[in-house]
Structure 1
């Protein structure tokens, strides 16, 4: 009788240990996805966000993304939601909003006060949503045609950056290929931006794909302008790793030199449905040995 009880107790103990081990392993497996702080630019799933923002955010959280960079700010709201509502939706799905792409171009004569008022509203909304940065993703055509206009943009960005700093938010600029292909009076467009903006007020979100498309090397800019590139956009022709043309390792190895604090996936073209492409992109970076 005693032998049977001992045997039963041993079996029960073994089952408990197996169950405990399984639950711990499952927990580790579930949490391992978010060991790396990988962000997603919501432009990557723009159509999905337009159809079902809540459902799309839920899927991104399930994939394992830690934060989003919005691309849907307008009139004090994000994707039609009040800042607090959007923030709560993200937090419900294990994410946060660290930043956003938005902005208005250089104000025309007599419209400066109106532009500054727009920025005040914009900055307040981003602050309420928990954003750490606001990035201007483009600028007017006139800047690419006239060096003096480009320098006016630089002054403008310094002013906007000063406003953002006062709210505890960083202001930055995101490139495409054109900023490296355009030369004004012997000056590379992107270099003019770097040299005429105050590092304390304006940082840069370097798109690793577009700089390569523009014929330049990211690492060369990290060496020449250390500390200016607080954000990376990690992008490929389609989802990350699909083309075989992008080597992100050198940029990540120089993250400290660049000044990079966060990196964000952006997918603009797809081999699959957008949500599948961003999932494959997450897996690519999550499995990469050079990312943290």
Structure 2
């Protein structure tokens, strides 16, 4: 009887320890858009990456691709730097605008090299952060952009990478021949080739509600840019993120990324505060 009791107590202790370890291992997957710390990266890439890893961020979304490199580093070297600091590069903001007549093949060659570099760095997605001003002048040009994005998305798919588009406010404020610019872009791109990274702050600034778009275009918004006036959870906060995270199954959100563009503090302190805010929120995972 004593042996049985001892065995039961031992198993309960082991079970409790395993549960505790599992709970500690379930770290929230919070990403950081590196545009948030662009000035720090200009002066010290390794040191800035180290600080972001120490804060608790698990992945980055780059904003520094150029000529086959990330922040002046070869893709494999940048990948190794991130991994050394407990992070990965899940995605990146980059791209070139709609090619002019006769330049399509050159544009596609640029994308081939871009995709190969991102593949070598371990990226899961490439997001075009904006488009040329010409797109806002006519529906015909916007349709050409839709076709262009579908072609890029097909190339990305072949490499196992997703292609997407990131909004600002003006995509929701612009009307072309009776069509809201952003709506037309969503409706005329192939869901299998083009996903959307919804900037939760900019859609609100553009006078629209993210929840309405989740209902209208379910599953299209695989990424959230989590942004506010300044650092998340600050004294001048305007955003209520909980309903947007609660709707993740409807929106299609798979990853969320902090972006801070205006600061009340040093940018590194602002992104640290933003991480703490999301890490402590009960609605994030």
- TM-score normalised according to structure 2 size: 0.91
Runs of 4+ in structure 1 off by over 6 angstroms are none
Asked if residue 131 in structure 1 is aligned to residue 128 in structure 2, the reply is no
Distance of 1:68 and 1:244 partners within structure 2: 23
Secondary structure at the aligned position of 1:204 is classed as strand
Distance of 1:161 and 1:64 partners within structure 2: 31
Distance of 1:145 and 1:107 partners within structure 2: 16
Q: 2:223 aligns with which of 225, 231, 240?
A: 231
Q: 1:207 aligns with which of 179, 184, 199?
A: 199
- TM-score normalised according to structure 1 size: 0.89
Asked if residue 56 in structure 1 is aligned to residue 48 in structure 2, the reply is yes
TM-aligned CA deviation for residue 145 of structure 1: 1.1
Distance of 1:190 and 1:212 partners within structure 2: 13
Query: Is the 2:230–2:237 Cα contact (8 Å) retained in structure 1?
Result: no
TM-aligned CA deviation for residue 244 of structure 1: 2.8
Distance of 2:102 and 2:72 partners within structure 1: 30
Secondary structure at the aligned position of 2:101 is classed as coil
Q: 1:255 aligns with which of 245, 248, 271?
A: 248
Match of 1:100 in 2: 92
Instruction: Report Cα offsets for 1:172-212 as digits up to 9, x if no partner.
Output: 00000000000111110000000000000000000000000
Distance of 1:157 and 1:33 partners within structure 2: 38
Distance of 1:175 and 1:97 partners within structure 2: 21
Query: Is the 1:39–1:67 Cα contact (8 Å) retained in structure 2?
Result: yes
1:148-159 equivalences under 5 Å are 148-159=140-151
How many residue pairs match? The answer is 265
Match of 2:171 in 1: 179
Instruction: Report Cα offsets for 1:90-123 as digits up to 9, x if no partner.
Output: 0000000000000000000000000000000000
Q: 1:288 aligns with which of 276, 281, 285?
A: 281
Distance of 2:26 and 2:39 partners within structure 1: 25
After superposition, the CA RMSD in angstroms is 1.4
Gaps of 5+ in 2: 1-16
Secondary structure at the aligned position of 1:173 is classed as strand
Match of 2:13 in 1: none
1:48-127 equivalences under 5 Å are 48-127=40-119
Query: Is the 1:175–1:211 Cα contact (8 Å) retained in structure 2?
Result: yes
Gaps of 5+ in 1: 1-23
TM-aligned CA deviation for residue 35 of structure 1: 1.0
Secondary structure at the aligned position of 1:131 is classed as coil
